[in-house]
Amino acid sequence: MAERVALITGGAKGIGRGIALDLAAQQWSVAICYRTSEAEARATADTITSRGGRALSIRCDVSDPQAAKGLVTQVEQQWGRIDALINGAGPYHRVNLFDETAAGWNEMFDGNLHPIFYLAQAVAPGMRARKSGHIINFSMANADQMIAQPDVTAHYIAKAGVLILTRTLAKLLAPHNITVNAISPGFIDSGSAPPEELAGMTKRIPAGYIGTVDDTVAAVRYLLSDEARYVNGANIQVSGAWGI
């Protein structure tokens, strides 16, 4: 099997960790980018290496354009290439729009939208040169509905922007045999929300249950597979039909 390298932002825990472990099991080399979750990132990397895989754990604030570029350079220098960029990092907070601060507003864009632009610009030259590659971005299940969101306004606008940026990147990179797609999770039991809060959401989900990390990992696995070679610019809802 040809060597394949993945760079995963937000790969230390939750969905990102699940993706990292799954790719490593498929013999991908995995670079895990984290900002604050050092212990979790190291544990994920150690799990991969203990199973015979190759992993890097790299601290980086990808909201800084120069740091994001340096992250890509570091991985490429270590392993010679990046075949898949998975943009899983993204802060979230709930606050009414009129109680939001300028710093909080900017944080949602700096964490959820801007890094995708920075990192895509950085990985594109190598992918174009090899005429292959994949970029997967994470939005949210109802971001394409363009509905009012009084308590998560900036986060929601940023996630809607992710979809526009995904489609734009797909159109620009498709001639180079590179796919760019989005995954939009709904309520997923990834460890980031209290179980009682998730349980209260079940009645709002048409499928009748909360999704698992494995549900999201399966969508990533598909988009990175040869079966999805003609899927480009898509947005896959992983939500049990919530948010559509």
214: in domain: yes
How far is Cα 22 from Cα 236, in angstroms, rounded to an integer?
19
- List strands edge to edge, sheet with 55-59: 55-59, 28-34, 4-9, 84-87, 133-138, 178-185, 235-238
Query: For residue 134, what are the β-bridge partners?
Result: 84, 179
Domain count, the chain: 1
175: in domain: yes
CATH number of 64's domain:
3.40.50.720
pLDDT of residue 103: 97
pLDDT of residue 6: 98
156 is catalytic: yes
- DSSP secondary-structure letter at 157? H
129: in domain: yes
pLDDT of residue 2: 58
- Closest of 205, 84, 116, 100 to residue 151, by C-alpha: 100
pLDDT of residue 189: 92
Q: What is the extent of the structural domain holding 16?
A: 4-238
pLDDT of residue 1: 43
Catalytic residue among 92, 156, 209, 222: 156
243: in domain: no
21: in domain: yes
pLDDT of residue 119: 98
The tens digit of pLDDT for each residue in 102-131 reads: 999 999 999 999 999 999 999 999 999 999
- Closest of 157, 30, 21, 138 to residue 90, by C-alpha: 138
pLDDT of residue 102: 98
244: in domain: no
What's the token pair of residue 165? 């940026």
126: in domain: yes
Q: Which amino acid is at 101?
A: T
Q: Flag residues of the chain having pLDDT under 50.
A: 1
pLDDT of residue 3: 86
The tens digit of pLDDT for each residue in 196-235 reads: 778 888 999 999 999 999 999 999 999 999 999 999 999 9
228: in domain: yes
